[in-house]
């Protein structure tokens, strides 16, 4: 399974999630981590997604960034870690 995780290396929740996911996968190379605070280009990419993706609708107008955010192999995205874990375990 391939999974992309958008987050920040300065976000405790992102770091927790990455360690949890890497520990559960037989092949952790299937996880691509996008550190949105690593460059302006990556931050801009995330901001466009945050402003246009319906999964962020509930966060718009709130002082929340919306990370970690998971993009599954089929291109769908979610904030739901439990959903991601259940897919990984299937």
Q: How sure is the predictor about 62, in pLDDT bands with cuts at 50, 70 and 90?
A: confident
Interval 36-50: pLDDT, tens: 999 999 999 999 999
3-7 and 69-72 strand pairing: antiparallel
Domain 3-89 of CATH type 3.40.50.1100? no
C-beta of residue 34 within 8 angstroms of C-beta of residue 4: yes
Sign of CA dihedral 71, 74, 80, 84: negative
For residue 24, the model assigns a pLDDT of: 83
3-state class of 19 per DSSP? Answer: helix
3-state class of 29 per DSSP? Answer: helix
C-beta of residue 53 within 8 angstroms of C-beta of residue 77: yes
Domain positions in the chain are: 3-89
- Global pTM? 0.92
């Amino acid at each position: 399974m391939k999974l992309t995780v958008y987050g920040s290396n300065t976000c405790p929740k992102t770091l927790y999630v990455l360690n949890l996911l890497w520990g559960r996968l037989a092949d952790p190379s299937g996880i691509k981590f996008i550190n949105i605070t690593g460059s302006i280009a990556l931050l801009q990419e995330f901001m466009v997604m945050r402003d246009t993706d319906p999964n962020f609708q509930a966060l718009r107008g709130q002082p929340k960034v919306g990370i970690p955010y998971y993009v599954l192999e089929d291109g769908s995205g979610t904030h739901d870690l439990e959903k991601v874990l259940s897919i990984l375990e299937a």
